Amino acid sequence: MHEVLRNWDLVYQIFEWLEDDREALLAGALTCHTFRKPAQDILWRYIDQSLAPLLALLPVHKPSGYDDWRLEETVQPLHLERVTHLARQVRALSPYRSHKAKSFDPSVLMSFLIALPPPEVPTLFRNLRELHLAFDTYRGPTPGIFQLAYSANLKAVRFYCSGSFYVSEYGMREIAFFIRRLQSDLIACQIQRFEIIFQSDQGVFDAIPSFTNLRSLELYGNKSVVFRYTHLVCLSMLRDLSKLVIGAHYFDNGSVNQGWTASMPGSVQFKWDPFRMLRDLTVVCPLAAFIDMLSTPFSHFPNLSRLKLCISLEQHHGVFNIIGLISARSWALLFSTLSTAATALKRVEIRAQELSWTRWEDANLDKGVFLGVGFEENGLGMDLCQMSPSRLEEFVVGFPLFRVLELNDFKAMGQAWGSSLTTLHLPIVGIPEDDATAPQTGMSWIGYRSAPMRVEMLPSIAAYFPNLKSLQIDIDVDALPNDLPPLRGDYEPVHGLERLEMRLRYWRRGKKKVETVAMYVYTAFPALQVFSPMMGRDCGKCDVALQKAYRALVEGGTNTSCSEAGTPASVSTSS
């Protein structure tokens, strides 16, 4: 082994072969301290390196009773020479990102910075391309890390806060100073990926015009941040922007009202194609703000294929009441605007979200007010079906949008997307028997007693979408007869549906019918792999019924596609 380690050319070839094996490279970097060029170049150039392996080269030890490693003696020039040499080979820096890395006391890094000669500090990571930093919510970034991790070759910057969506005021000041330095040294114009995964202040949003070469941008504003019309215009001019994630509580289109666009010279107004490369868009904001964004002259997305709209909810005394106040006219305006602004959409996802301590997450819909709207109300259904006809592959709504859906409504959607749609999730309102899941506002219970879909309608719904693979729908168990009518004599169970999620409404009055539902579903869809009824409390009893129904089908040979393949369908219940 020692002979192999002395052969630098052989070592070079070995590590060149292991370039993509990050763990092997890390182990080699920590073990083979005697390596010199060219082996070291391969080790440190391609590894997603954290500060831990570098700090481990210092004289550190782990005192008894402590969780962090600390300095054992004063940092000597010999230690500095080796660390600085290897640091210049690092291309990606992510301090303490690996769960396997050692944890060092902050004093180790500070002692190292103090020991470095002043000219070495700003050029320590001179070849750094990617900077990923995780902040502590209260302490903010490690002191001196921005000065240490600065590089004129940065291409990607990603900041996030461990276990939280907030960062301290000190942390935001450090970030603002770092961004100003990037702007002053004209480094911002070469950064391709810029992501801050926690709430930022107005200064971060106002720095958007400096990043002229972005390919990916992710920013979330706090409640005082205003996403301005000028920000949107600057983003529309980015020629290579392919992914955009924006979270803001307010959108200011005052510049449109003041005629800012109209006053622009024609040659300037139309000399670029807005958002020509954007393919993935996620927006977290109130619905009205998003409609305002889509209504600007520059909101044209010719190649947008995925849209995720997260409608932010406001909470009052534990009750979310915004969705219930959105009218059918607003929804119709949203879909009609999308049909002209984004003609290449393939995936559309609409969620109701609340701001938690850790992130934006799906709201607790059991406490929300979801009155629902009619499919034909204010021409909503027509506008919806005009959204990306014959192109849409996934349409997912995470909350009860419609009050009720009939077969004719699914037929209209099938005429628009039948040849392309593979995923359809459309919960409806209804009123559960259990008051704990009933929508409420103030002290009164409100809503509509609308009948969810019946299970015998599933084959007809699936027939409108021949390529459908995943379906989520509400089923009224109480409306089931004791024995479901058999499938039509000419019906051939050939549909390729693989995943079915059903919210079984009023199921407590029809527990004995759950097995009947399962038998019917498995017979109608032989390719089914996942069947997941969502039943609320006491779902264990229904789970037993589902398993019993599946065993009966397999033993009887009815569901031959599953039994022959040897991979039985997954049967699960969720609350």
pLDDT digits (tens, 9 = 90+) for 455-509: 888 888 999 999 999 998 877 665 565 556 666 555 566 788 999 887 765 555 5
Taking CA atoms, 510 is separated from 11, 472, 504, 542, in Å, by 70, 20, 10, 10
- Helical ranges in 158-228 per DSSP H: 169-184, 202-206
Torsion of CA 110, 112, 113, 116, to 10 degrees: 160
What is the per-residue pLDDT for 469?
94
What is the per-residue pLDDT for 53?
76
- Helical ranges in 128-168 per DSSP H: 145-148
Residue (of 89, 116, 75, 97) closest to 29 by Cα position: 89
What is the per-residue pLDDT for 125?
84
- In this predicted structure, the answer to whether residue 115 has a pLDDT above a threshold of 50 is yes
Residue (of 484, 402, 483) closest to 450 by Cα position: 402
What is the per-residue pLDDT for 226?
92
Residue type, 107: S
What's the rounded mean pLDDT across residues 53-77? 83
A 10 A CB-CB count for 256 gives 17
Spatial contact of 285 and 325, defined as CB atoms under 8 Å apart? no
Spatial contact of 134 and 96, defined as CB atoms under 8 Å apart? yes
Residue (of 282, 296, 288) closest to 253 by Cα position: 296
Please, which residues bridge with residue 310 across strands?
284, 351
Q: Higher confidence at residue 140 or residue 414?
A: 414
What is the per-residue pLDDT for 443?
28
What pTM did the predictor assign?
0.80
Ranges 62-71, 169-178, 517-526, most confident: 169-178
DSSP 395: E
The mean-pLDDT minimum among 109-123, 135-149, 404-418 falls in 135-149
Give the Cα separation of 450 and 22 in Å (integer).
Answer: 56
Give the Cα separation of 371 and 161 in Å (integer).
Answer: 36
User: Strand 440-441 relative to strand 530-534: parallel, antiparallel, unpaired?
Assistant: unpaired
Give the Cα separation of 547 and 438 in Å (integer).
Answer: 29
Spatial contact of 496 and 467, defined as CB atoms under 8 Å apart? yes
Residue (of 305, 162, 277) closest to 217 by Cα position: 277
| pLDDT tens by residue, 243-259 | 999 999 889 876 544 44
Cis amide linkage into residue 274, ω under 30° from 0 = no
